[in-house]
Amino acid sequence: MSYCEGMDAREKILEAAAELLAKAPVADVSTRAVCEAAGVGAPMLYRHFGDKAGLLSAVVDRGFERYLAAKRAARPGADPVQDIRDGWDNHMRFALDNPNYYRLMYSPELTAPPAAAHEAHALLRQILERCAAAGRLTVPPPSQGR
């Protein structure tokens, strides 16, 4: 198997998992069903993701990358409060447009948030810090450690 074939299989598996997870809860989606939907054998899934938890983690990472693409593209405006409003609108738009990813991204089943989640929180913290600096925030922004 070439590198390109392996990446193609990985993409197929991720897409199949996302589609199945859009229709059913995590507990009801088996690795076997994902493999069947992707047209690959189970060893391919395990080679790329290790197990179901690894697959779910990769789907969550993909969701956060899609989410962050819009966040990264947003440029700060003159009013940081409006930036918070716009950010919330974009957050809700993502949730409505990508319910399968959103449900997984914010699932209590996640044992540890992915690195991309930390970036999303850091972007929000930056806006809150701008609000505080402008005197528009009545409480201090959350600390870095949270």
pLDDT score recorded for residue 144: 56
Cα–Cα distance measured from residue 63 to residue 121, given in angstroms and rounded to the nearest whole number? 15
pLDDT score recorded for residue 33: 98
Other beta carbons within 10 angstroms of residue 60's beta carbon come to 21
Domain extent listing, the chain:
1-50, 60-146
Homologous superfamily in CATH for domain 1-50: Homeodomain-like (1.10.10.60)
Which two three-digit tokens encode residue 143? 């600390």
Tens of pLDDT, residues 96-112: 998 888 888 888 777 77
pLDDT score recorded for residue 112: 75
Which two three-digit tokens encode residue 114? 């992915």
With H, G, I as helix, E, B as strand and everything else as coil, classify residue 129: helix
Please tell me what DSSP assigns to residue 76.
P
Q: Which residues of the chain have pLDDT under 50?
A: 1-4, 146
